[in-house]
């Protein structure tokens, strides 16, 4: 059995490896993949790759470049985001923070600081629903409320990156989001870090990141994790020593457009 990122029902592990793109079109996807190791990229499989590409979605970058994209999910504030922002500022590392409505309402000053310090705020929906189970109109409402609240709080009027709540998506939700101007940003490096009552120490977070890291990795961390906050500085410094650089999601999009000859000079 292959190693997968999340603990999923056995039937999903078996059938997810043989889905065709056609079979995936209307099937709710609980995002998962074979983890990266020894510098090799994580792999979700050809069918998933084709489906994401169809809607400009992505979960990893160029396998030939030691570039990393650091992203955080912010469902609620647990006292560690300020330290994370301090470290990012110290190390001059850009990040994307995917926020919910609850986060914007309960931690407005931190949201303002994210934008002031050059980070991107992405959309994680207003109420964190499974978007495969709600209507197109409700999806649009969930996304628009986050966008408008972010703009009012921070001045960031553009919002083009979306991380689906609970990591659940389908071709329908990909399509609806893309029509609203959003690009799904998934991830190729993550671990079980969000359970605040099961933190295991900074070394646990450090080891999980360093074990899975690979060129082009989109790293997902949760800001509620004490382990992440305590490991982050060492992680960044050691990855830099290993030749990695950190870039923003905007850099990813620019590079992708250059490779696809989308720019007119």
Which residue among the candidates 73, 119, 184, 193 is catalytic per the annotation? Answer: 73
Catalytic (active site) residue 119: no
Please compute the mean of the pLDDT values over residues 133-156 and round it to a whole number. 97
Catalytic (active site) residue 251: no
Asked if the model's pLDDT at residue 109 lies above 60, the reply is yes
Which residue among the candidates 119, 124, 184, 222 is catalytic per the annotation? Answer: 222
The pLDDT of residue 22: 52
Please compute the mean of the pLDDT values over residues 68-92 and round it to a whole number. 98
203-255 pLDDT, tens per residue? 999 999 999 999 999 999 999 999 999 999 999 999 999 999 999 999 987 76
b vs e for 135-150, b when ≥16 Cβ sit within 10 Å of the residue's Cβ?
eeebbeebbebbbebb
Q: Residue 42 and residue 174: Cα distance in Å, rounded?
A: 21
The pLDDT of residue 14: 32
What pTM was computed for the model?
0.88
Of residues 11 and 49, the one with the higher pLDDT is 49
Class of the CATH-defined domain 46-259? alpha beta
- 138 Cβ partners below 8 Å, 6+ apart? 129
Of residues 254 and 198, the one with the higher pLDDT is 198
Bridge-based pairing of strands 168-169 and 29-30 is antiparallel
Asked if the model's pLDDT at residue 8 lies above 50, the reply is no
What is the band of 135 on the pLDDT scale with cuts at 50, 70, 90? very high
Q: Residue 236 and residue 87: Cα distance in Å, rounded?
A: 9
């Amino acid at each position: 059995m292959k190693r997968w990122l999340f603990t999923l029902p056995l039937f999903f592990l078996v059938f997810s490896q043989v889905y065709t793109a056609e079979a995936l079109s209307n099937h709710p996807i609980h995002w998962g993949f074979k983890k990266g190791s020894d510098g090799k990229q994580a792999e979700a499989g050809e069918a998933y790759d084709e489906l994401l590409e169809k809607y400009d979605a992505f979960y990893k970058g160029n396998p030939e470049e030691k570039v990393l994209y650091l992203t955080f999910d912010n469902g609620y504030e647990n006292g560690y985001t300020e330290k994370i922002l301090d470290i990012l500022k110290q190390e001059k590392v850009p990040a994307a923070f995917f926020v919910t409505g609850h986060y914007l309402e309960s931690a407005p000053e931190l949201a303002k600081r994210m934008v002031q310090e050059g980070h991107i705020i992405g959309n994680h929906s207003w109420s964190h629903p499974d978007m495969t189970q709600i209507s197109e109109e409700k999806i649009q409402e969930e996304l628009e409320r986050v966008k408008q609240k972010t703009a009012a709080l921070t001045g960031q009027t553009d919002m083009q990156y979306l991380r689906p709540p609970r990591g659940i998506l389908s071709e329908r939700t990909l399509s609806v989001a893309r029509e609203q101007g959003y690009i799904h940003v998934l991830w190729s490096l993550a671990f079980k870090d969000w359970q605040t009552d099961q933190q295991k120490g900074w070394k646990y977070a450090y080891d999980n990141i360093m074990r899975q890291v690979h060129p082009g990795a989109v790293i997902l961390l949760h800001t509620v994790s004490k382990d992440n906050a305590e490991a982050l500085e060492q992680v960044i410094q050691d990855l830099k020593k290993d030749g990695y650089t950190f870039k923003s999601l905007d850099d990813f999009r620019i590079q992708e457009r250059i490779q696809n000859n989308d720019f007119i000079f």
